Amino acid sequence: MTEHIIDRIEETSYEELESFVEERQRIIDTILLNSESSPLNARQKNEVHRILTYDTVLLQRMNFLRLEAQDWLQKRNQAKKQRNVYEAAYAPDSMLMDRRN
């Protein structure tokens, strides 16, 4: 599952990544629960370590998506502020006049 996401990490949307992280956490919880009664052998520990090496790539992608969303929100809020200036409530029969200095 992790390798599949890593293979397509640049095209992975935040929804896919969120779904992946939730599913992965369920699997990790199950492994931890099972390892209490039956400890992991060396091969299983190595496999877990190998999978965890991808965490850096996953975190980088999540951070990129977070920054992208943050940038979008800032631009949206800036546009909203600019639009609000021009959409101020004016009396319906008022006139706007420019004055030359």
In a domain, 94, yes or no: no
Task: Quote the number of domains for the chain.
Answer: 1
Per-residue pLDDT, 88: 61
Q: Is residue 49 part of a domain?
A: yes
Please report, in tens digits, the pLDDT of each residue of the chain (101 residues total): 999 999 999 999 999 999 999 999 999 899 889 888 889 899 998 998 999 999 999 999 999 999 999 999 999 988 888 877 766 655 566 666 667 76
Q: Is residue 65 one of the residues assigned to a domain?
A: yes
- Tell me the whole-structure pTM to 2 decimals: 0.69
Residue 53 covered by a domain: yes
In a domain, 64, yes or no: yes
Token duo for residue 89? 């409530």
Establish if 34 belongs to a structural domain.
yes
Q: Could you give the CA distance from residue 33 to residue 43 in angstroms, rounded to a whole number? A: 18
32 found inside a domain: yes
Confirm whether 93 is domain-assigned.
Answer: no
CA 76 – CA 67 distance, rounded (Å) = 14
Q: Which domain holds residue 7?
A: 2-86
- Contacts for 93 with CB less than 8 Å, ≥ 6 apart: none
